[in-house]
Amino acid sequence: MRLGEAQAPHPGIYSMATASFPLTLALWYRGLHMGTVVDMHVHTIVGSMDSDISPKRLGEQAQAVGLTGIALTEHLHQWPADEVEHFRQE
């Protein structure tokens, strides 16, 4: 079964690592499952060549679709604690 078909997707089988993340799917998912929704595997342009989304845009999209958390999993960059805190507050 593909995402978007009749049954709800299993939590965590999609990612918003790029700016083309399907917002309608996320909004649909949010309507079915209230509570904590965390994307556990997200890259940004800061530390991963396979992403085209900035940290600021990622935060905006995460909030727009109702995610309660994200896990930044960069390939080439480890986020210092102070940068993570700044990103979280922003």
Q: 23-76, pLDDT tens digit by residue?
A: 555 655 655 556 777 888 888 898 888 888 898 998 898 888 888 888 888 888
> pTM for the full model?
0.59
Residue extents of the structural domains in the chain:
34-89
Burial class (CB in 10 A: 0-12, 13-18, 19+), 70: buried
Per DSSP, 67 falls in state: -
| Per-residue model confidence (pLDDT) at position 67 | 85
What whole-number distance in Å separates Cα of residue 30 and Cα of residue 27? Answer: 5
What whole-number distance in Å separates Cα of residue 25 and Cα of residue 9? Answer: 9
Tell me the one-letter amino acid at 15: S
Given a cut of 60, whether residue 90 has pLDDT beyond it is yes
